């Protein structure tokens, strides 16, 4: 592709979003942080619809991190209630729109009521084949790697015929995202430039996009900016730009192609 081309890629197949900035959005309006979380849920609906309309195959949203338990108790319990309510309210519509809903993270850390809503929502939507919506809840990237390694080891132990070494491929097979395409684009809103223990393994070669918009202010126009930016990037995976731009032609088998002195 020529260096003047404005687009290297198609729409990303898999987008992940760190939906950050709810608390600050509310505080700017002299409201409690919880007001921002409610507004954040509304925004989530809009962005899910926008991703589906743009042909994104998988969308992974960071809803609650393993570190978020450290927040004030009333904020944590508000968030738990909000998740139950939002699931109850949204799941029918998601199902109608052919969305397949999955949760990644340590779900056993949630109360029974929430665990049941999660299982019911997954069950209801499991045969859908539209947008694959993954909610990362009680999720941490380090937790994911540790559980993947443990799960690989225990599979090895229970299968005495095959003893597999721990390899990258094996870890990937046991990560909570093993059913998803590779992560193409990770977006973080809220004007912070860090990954905060989100998909740390999976983001190794994802393109990163940081938006200064607080999550409740992020909208489909902002999403389009992120996608347009992504499309224009050259994903080199350690190669050189020239390698990617020059088609490989096997015209010289002499082995002397590198004739420039070092
Ligand atoms: C993200 O918004 C939502 C969750 C972590 C649940 P924040 O609540 O982190 O909002 P800020 O970053 O404090 O503004
Ligand atoms: C990341 O945001 C977690 C979610 C969006 C769910 P945080 O607000 O928790 O991240 P830090 O604390 O600023 O790194
Ligand atoms: Mg935050």
Give 192-248 pLDDT, tens digit per residue: 999 999 999 999 999 999 999 999 999 999 999 999 999 999 999 999 999 988 765
Dist. CA 23 → ligand 1 center (Å):
5
- Domain of residue 120, CATH code: 3.40.1180.10
Ligand 2, pocket residues at CB < 6 Å: 18-20, 62-65, 68, 192, 194, 196
What's the number of CA atoms in the CB half-sphere (13 Å) around residue 217? 14
Number of domains observed in the structure of the chain: 1
Identify the domain containing residue 230 by its residue range.
11-139+184-244
H helical segments located in 72-140 = 73-96, 112-125
Residue 168 belongs to some domain of the structure: no
For the segment 181-195, what is each residue's pLDDT rounded down to a tens digit? 999 999 999 999 999
**257 within a domain of the structure (yes/no):** no
pTM of the model: 0.92
Q: How far apart are CA 84 and CA 20, in angstroms?
A: 20
CA 173/CA 167 separation, integer angstroms: 10
Q: What does the block give as tokens for 169?
A: 């491929």
Q: Is residue 262 assigned to a domain? A: no
In a domain, 6, yes or no: no
Kindly tell me if the per-residue pLDDT of 257 is higher than 50.
Answer: no
Residue 32 belongs to some domain of the structure = yes
> Which pLDDT band holds residue 250 (cuts at 50, 70, 90)?
low
On whether the CB atoms of residues 19 and 64 are closer than 8 A, the answer is no
Which residue owns the Cα nearest ligand 2 atom 2?
20
> 63: part of which helix (H) or strand (E)?
strand 58-65
Locate 244 and state its tokens: 């990617």
In a domain, 261, yes or no: no
Does 235 fall in a domain?
yes
Pocket test for ligand 1, best of 24, 78, 215 (most atoms within 8 A of CB): 24
pLDDT digits (tens, 9 = 90+) for 32-76: 999 999 999 999 999 999 999 999 999 999 999 999 999 999 999
**Active-site amino acid positions:** 20, 68
Q: Is residue 100 part of a domain?
A: yes
122-145 pLDDT per residue, tens: 999 999 999 999 999 999 999 999
Half-sphere exposure of 171 (CA within 13 A, CB side): 13
């Amino acid at each position: 592709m020529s260096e003047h081309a404005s687009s290297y890629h198609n729409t990303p197949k898999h987008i992940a979003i760190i939906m950050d900035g709810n608390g600050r959005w509310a505080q700017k309006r002299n409201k409690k942080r919880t007001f921002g979380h409610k507004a954040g849920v509304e925004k989530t609906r809009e962005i899910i619809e926008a991703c589906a309309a743009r042909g994104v195959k998988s969308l992974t949203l960071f809803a609650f991190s393993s570190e978020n338990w450290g927040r004030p108790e009333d904020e944590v319990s508000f968030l738990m209630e909000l998740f139950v309510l939002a699931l109850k309210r949204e799941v029918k519509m998601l199902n109608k729109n052919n969305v397949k809903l999955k949760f990644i993270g340590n779900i056993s850390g949630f109360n029974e009521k929430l665990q049941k809503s999660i299982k019911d929502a997954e069950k209801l939507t499991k045969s859908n084949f539209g947008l694959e919506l993954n909610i990362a809840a009680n999720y941490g990237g380090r937790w994911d790697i540790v559980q993947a390694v443990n799960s690989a080891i225990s599979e090895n132990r229970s299968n005495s015929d095959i003893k597999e070494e721990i390899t990258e491929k094996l870890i990937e097979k046991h990560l909570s995202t093993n059913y998803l395409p590779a992560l193409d684009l990770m977006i973080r809103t809220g004007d912070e430039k860090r990954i905060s223990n989100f998909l740390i393994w999976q983001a190794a070669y994802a393109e990163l996009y940081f938006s200064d918009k607080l999550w409740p202010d992020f909208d489909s126009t902002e999403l389009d900016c992120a996608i347009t930016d992504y499309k224009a990037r050259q994903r080199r995976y350690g190669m050189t730009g020239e390698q990617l731009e020059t088609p490989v032609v096997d015209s010289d088998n002499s082995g002397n192609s590198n004739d420039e002195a070092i």
